[in-house]
Amino acid sequence: MESHDLMLWARDFLAAVTEQDRGRLRGFFTPGAVVYWPNTGEKFSLEDYLTANCEYPGQWRGQLLRAEGTDAGAVVAARVWEDGGPSCHVVSFLRFDGAGQIIEMTEFWGDDGPPPRWRQELGLGRNYTEDT
């Protein structure tokens, strides 16, 4: 997939995820697709993944940060948040079939928040979001 096409694809995919649009989201996957969430040790069939995503309580928003093509698929990074609720960053490793549908997705989710106290106490790092 060309870089520009991949960015459009990734934006559309993220919109289907955050809008919890089961029908539209299903169209991105092959029927036998498998989804892995290593942070929680879970493996989902397509149907289980659609239920986990589309039945999640609350209204999500999303921002695509990056999409890079690979030999077999793509790597997509995004920020996903709920107004007044949790905020996360997610990196998804995608493997496509010959038609550009996902056959396997491995997602790493990380909760957003301040650095742990021990790093704050040592004065390590700085907030890069304040860089201009």
Higher pLDDT, 40 or 59: 40
**Predicted pLDDT of residue 84:** 85
pLDDT in tens, 67-96: 999 999 999 999 999 988 889 999 999 999
pTM, to two decimals: 0.89
**Predicted pLDDT of residue 114:** 87
Mean pLDDT of the chain: 93
List the domains of the chain with CATH numbers. Answer: 3-130 (3.10.450.50)
Cβ neighbourhood burial of 77 (10 Å; 0-12, 13-18, 19+): middle
